[in-house]
Chain A
């Protein structure tokens, strides 16, 4: 009764029991589809077949119908169309063979099973036509004996039950099975219950929640019991309300994990004439949804906070940039302005009420800005660009030269996000620059003028020096030229007086004496002028020596002895006993003292003249004073006496004689010697001239 490929095997006792169980079921069953399903179950549990399909051939129909399957997708079942007449089809061929066929998975036709499988014909014996085909997944051509056996069992059952009704039943069963597989394909648990919640049909996902397998543990069972209770309760409350579609939340327990699962329960009532009212329920797992919702809410809250922060930040930013007097603009990579402060708005923001001129200026400003910003947009690698832009004040139309600095803001990926541009009004700077330039020009002009003046002064100074030198030279020459004729005058007068040319009368002698004295006066004047000239020209040399003052005073007094003796004056010298020699130019000191004494004699009609010499406190200076009891000099005239050609009695130089240059020369000489001449005098009481000289004169 077995095909040749079916090996005869000794089966184990437990397997034997299983076979017996199947046979008993088949004998008792009148439902071909149920039988087929049982066979599949048996194959799965006993023969460890992973995928299996049973297709039956209806005698009245040309189609093969799948009545049971395991591990086959509903799509594959729906797609499966096989006609019995299609004799070229490998599966039809396999059905008509006596032995099982092996397909190695390389087949090109469509089949419900993927990969390798066996096609086992279902037939009672070789003489009868096949009733169907059993497909079982396989990895090798070798076929299990259980498969052969069960195929035989199924073939017998099929031929027994296959009648018109049975086949009709089979067709219905196939549809039901399709429905099952569709329901099972739905991931949401779906249940069909009576109004009490008693389970009629459940898809596999629902079974997981509401049915425990026989070998399930205690916890599982309890969880399933709890779930059934919760579900019934939920249904009963929904049954109270007569709404067509009840929707509520239902908290169940995951029997395997023990964790809470939140479902949305959709249930609707259906009325069936045969079975009465029942309830279809769909459970949608919203645990994740709820969690997601929470998360979304949390995210949303965070987002709101972040948005608020961003808003604050932006507000702060706007406050900051608005507080900056310089226009600041942020442009995007397209060059469009996305943010600007108030000063920038004045230049670039076109207000609705702007007139045509203003609009044109603002548009022009915008164009300038765009071309400026394009410098950073187009130059890759440069993050900063600095340059000048010529803008226009939109309101006044005044030219507005600005310096712009544009910097780029890059994203983390280094893409250019924004360009920030800061503009700085350069009107003032330019004005300052212009003023500075003007100032510079003025300063330069002033400096040039100053230099010119300086040069002029320098030249004048040189000219003055030259003039002074010329003057000195002129005076020197003049004194020489004076001397030559004077020499002749004096000489011939002298000769006449000496009787060289014969005797002279008394009257002639008197005249000759007048000639002689006037000539002598003229000579004295010339000598004094020459002295002054020499001092001023720096051509009066100093001859330093050490000498005694009393000796010098005596010399002076003896030289003036003729004058002294002719006067009725009492002339005395008061020399300090401790006087020591001084170092100076003896000849010049003598000239000064001689002059002072002769002046004193000249201007003192009666009384006394006293010459005194002493040290100052620190013995650094020696003072030689000539004191008289003469006419005196008034306070306002006391400085004048030292001036050139000055005798206080303006008319009568003749009255007192002298050149009027004596004191002037004395003061110059005293200065040469590092000393001074002082005058103290009262009118009609006399004068005191004091010469102060350093004890030791050093050459400068």
Chain B
């Protein structure tokens, strides 16, 4: 890529355009690079293509749901290191567990305010950089506005 200090790339997977663009806008506003996908198949394609630093994955998706996409990504050697934060409107018990079993690293319930979501992503990325110091720093900067 261009610079080693490049901003972390977040792949936002969400079929609901308003929500997707809202999170994308706020993430960009918060200094992250953002890529978007609208379903599970596209999410896998974009992940393999872009190798994002973290994925924000809605679970209820058309074509391929979030659980299945997560399972496939976590089985792929190229993508299995990428942390996935599950996002769902269902607060019922079992959803969080199902997401965790599919391979999600964190679970966030909608409605989730943009700054709360950004805080969670920040937490995940710093945890990742601490566990694997060999990897490039994922600390986001606000260099780009």
Contact = CB atoms under 8 A, between A and B. Distances in A.
A333 to B, nearest CB: 97
Contacts of B29: 495, 500
B19 A539 contact: no
A476 B94 CA distance: 13
B111 A483 contact: yes
Contact of B90 (A476, A486, A491, A498): A476
A12 interface: no
B112 interface: yes
Nearest to A480: B89
B92 A488 contact: no
A498 B29 CA distance: 10
Contacts of B22: 488, 491-492, 495
12 contacts: A483-B89, A484-B16, A484-B19, A487-B110, A487-B111, A491-B113, A494-B113, A494-B115, A500-B25, A500-B114, A527-B91, A534-B93
A540 interface: yes
B23 interface: yes
Contacts of B91: 479, 527, 530
Nearest to A527: B91
Contact of B26 (A481, A495, A523): A495
Contacts of A500: 25-26, 29, 114
B111 A540 contact: no
B90 A480 contact: yes
B49 interface: no
Contacts of A491: 19, 22-23, 26, 111-114
Contacts of A488: 16, 18-19, 22
A652 interface: no
Interface in A290-324: none
B92 A486 contact: no
A539 B111 contact: no
A487 B89 contact: yes
Interface in A527-547: 527, 530, 534, 539-541
Contact of A534 (B16, B25, B92, B114): B92
A490 interface: yes
Given A480-B90, A539-B93, A487 B115 contact: no
A484 B26 contact: no
Nearest to A523: B111
Interface in B23-45: 23, 25-26, 29
Interface of A: 476, 479-481, 483-488, 490-492, 494-495, 498, 500, 523, 527, 530, 534, 539-541
The 4 A-B pairs of least Cβ separation, nearest first, read A487-B111, A483-B89, A480-B89, A488-B18
A539 B23 CA distance: 31
A88 B92 CA distance: 161
Interface string B80-122: 0000000001111110000000000000001111110000000
A485 B90 CA distance: 13
B93 A495 contact: no
B26 A540 contact: no
Nearest to A488: B18
B93 A486 contact: no
A481 B90 CA distance: 9
Contacts of B25: 495, 500
A492 B91 CA distance: 21
B19, B22, B94: which has the most chain A beta carbons within 10 Å? B22
B100 to A, nearest CB: 15
A476 B92 contact: yes
Given A479-B91, A480-B89, A488-B22, A495 B111 contact: no
Nearest to A483: B89
Contact of B93 (A480, A527, A541): A541
B72 to A, nearest CB: 24
Identify which of B16, B93, B94, B111 gathers the most chain A CB atoms within 10 Å of its CB. B111
A144 B70 CA distance: 168
B91 to A, nearest CB: 6
B26 A486 contact: no
B111 A486 contact: yes
A541 B93 CA distance: 8
A562 B29 CA distance: 30
A495 B114 contact: yes
A516 to B, nearest CB: 10
B93 A490 contact: no
Residue in A487, A492, A527 with the greatest tally of chain B CB atoms within 10 Å: A487
B140 to A, nearest CB: 16
A480 B94 CA distance: 14
Given A491-B114, A498-B114, 16 more contacts: A476-B92, A479-B91, A484-B16, A485-B18, A487-B19, A488-B16, A488-B22, A491-B111, A492-B22, A494-B113, A495-B114, A498-B115, A500-B26, A500-B114, A530-B91, A539-B93
B2 to A, nearest CB: 26
A498 B22 CA distance: 13
Nearest to B17: A488
A540 B26 CA distance: 34
Contacts of B23: 491
B113 A490 contact: yes
A498 B91 CA distance: 27
Contacts of A481: 89
Contacts of A479: 89, 91
B70 to A, nearest CB: 19
Contacts of A539: 92-94
Nearest to A493: B113
A527 B111 CA distance: 11
Nearest to A479: B91
Contacts of B93: 534, 539-541
A149 B86 CA distance: 178
Nearest to A487: B111
